[in-house]
Amino acid sequence: MELSKLILAIDTSCDDTSAAVTSGVTVLANIIASQTELHSPYGGVYPTVAKQAHQENIEPTIKLALKRARVNWSQISAVAVTQGPGLAPALEIGLAQAKKIASEKDLPIIPINHLEAHALSPLAVRRHRPPKKELMSWAEQLANHQLPALAIVVSGGHTEFIRVTQPGEYERLGYSIDDAAGEALDKVGRLLGLGYPAGPVIEKFAKNGDENFFKVPLPMTDREDFNMSFSGLKTWARNKLKELRAASGLTKELIFHFAASFQKGVFRHISYKLDKLLLEDDFREVWLGGGVATNLKLRQMIRESLKTYNKSVSSPKNSFSLRLFVPYEKRLCMDNAAMIGVAAGHKLWQQSSKAFYKNLEKLDRKPRWSIDQI
């Protein structure tokens, strides 16, 4: 088995400490040390708490990733690390650890944009155990796909439409001008007393509710661009909840209806813009990544958009149909280092001169690094 191009990857962009071992698009190990319990009393991520937890968790997490992958340091060819975007104090810990490893083991560093990694995450593949075949390379995986792709990243920090001409070549076509979709779900979930993060709880509650019970407004319909805005939805929710509490009170049943309606309202905003965007370009595939991408309702609504689009372009001569690709497991949607390793695998394969950092002192965090600036 070709194990010569193994990458040790690190992600400390927000509240989870993660380390992974990857080769091409294959994930050999993906360890995530979650800090959710530490942050839940604050109802959000508390940067100094995150930094300290990353400091404590980073070395054991890396050690465990190597152990799970059954490899040792001598087999590692490069260290990939999230350079941004993310929380500056959190990014700092991952970068410092990557630099330490790079100088101790004499390895190159591949700095990665966290959004690029979410965008490419649907292309990652699981390593079968016992390995049935060679680890899948980027070349092999790209032969299975058609480009350009539209990558949709929906997480707690970002909501973006990204045109992927090819891996490494991106154009941001639309983004949320204020809160991210996950952030809106978390904030409204907090108003409903659902804890942090509330996204997964809202999905669960929504199954018991009527998604058409409350009429949630659809934002930004007067604008031709593909940007989104979720803060108005949050304000609508706050006012509505105040009204309900003042009237008959918030029963469990109403909370279920509210969760279902608000969730649908958030996703309808994304799918409304998606419908317009699909008609503007010539995408061959759609890739979905980010923590909110685990949500089955979101996936269903995006699939419906693709179905409508496919019907509108199909003709007797043209049997083309746009398909949705999602990461192979939930852990690959959330913040994780495997996606960082997979993105770095492409740069290692291309031997892109921009990919490797030799001058470690100059390598610094980029907390606001847009995918357009790669």
For residues 61 and 155, which CB has a smaller minimum distance to Zn ion in the complex? Answer: 155
Please state, in angstroms and rounded to a whole number, the distance separating the CA atoms of residues 372 and 294. 25
> Rounded to whole angstroms, what are the CA distances from 241 to 253, 279, 285, 365?
13, 37, 39, 40
Residue 345 binding ligand KG4, by CB under 6 A? no
Q: Which does 292 bind (CB under 5 to 8 A by kind): ligand KG4, Zn ion, none?
A: ligand KG4
Q: Which does 167 bind (CB under 5 to 8 A by kind): ligand KG4, Zn ion, none?
A: none
Contact region with ligand KG4 (CB under 6 A), list: 32-40, 236-244, 286-294, 303-311: 286-294
Nearest distance in Å: CB 195, ligand KG4: 10
Nearest distance in Å: CB 364, ligand KG4: 21
Q: Which does 182 bind (CB under 5 to 8 A by kind): ligand KG4, Zn ion, none?
A: ligand KG4
Residue 335 binding Zn ion, by CB under 5 A? yes
Q: Which of 295, 305, 332, 338 binds ligand KG4 (CB under 6 A)?
A: 295
Per-position DSSP letters for 7-74, written without gaps between them: EEEEE-SSSEEEEEEEETTEEEEEEEEE-HHHHGGGTS--HHHHHHHHHHHHHHHHHHHHHHHT--GG
Residue 290 binding ligand KG4, by CB under 6 A? yes
Q: Are 37 and 21 in contact (CB under 8 A)?
A: no
Site for ligand KG4 in 24-83 (CB under 6 A): none
- 3-class secondary structure, 145: coil
Ranges of H-type helices in 144-218: 181-191, 199-206
For residues 22 and 155, which CB has a smaller minimum distance to ligand KG4 in the complex? Answer: 155
> Rounded to whole angstroms, what are the CA distances from 282 to 148, 151, 286, 370?
7, 13, 11, 23
Nearest distance in Å: CB 308, Zn ion: 29
Q: Which of 5, 298, 320, 322 is nearest to 150 (CA)?
A: 322
For residues 197 and 219, which CB has a smaller minimum distance to ligand KG4 in the complex? Answer: 197
307 contacts: CB under 8 Å, gap ≥ 6: none
DSSP label at 227? -
Q: Which of 78, 87, 135, 334 binds ligand KG4 (CB under 6 A)?
A: 334
Residue 155 binding Zn ion, by CB under 5 A? yes
Rounded to a whole number, what is the distance in angstroms from the first to the last CA of the chain? 32
For residues 19 and 102, which CB has a smaller minimum distance to ligand KG4 in the complex? Answer: 19
Site for ligand KG4 in 117-156 (CB under 6 A): 155-156
Q: Are 10 and 62 in contact (CB under 8 A)?
A: yes
Beta-sheet pairing, 6-11 with 76-84: parallel
Nearest distance in Å: CB 180, Zn ion: 10
Site for ligand KG4 in 203-222 (CB under 6 A): 203
Answer positive or negative: Cα dihedral of 241, 295, 264, 44. Answer: positive
For residues 82 and 227, which CB has a smaller minimum distance to Zn ion in the complex? Answer: 82
Q: Which does 334 bind (CB under 5 to 8 A by kind): Zn ion, ligand KG4, none?
A: ligand KG4
Residues that bind Zn ion (CB under 5 A): 155, 335
Residues that bind ligand KG4 (CB under 6 A): 14, 155-157, 182-183, 185-186, 197-200, 203, 290-292, 294-295, 334-335
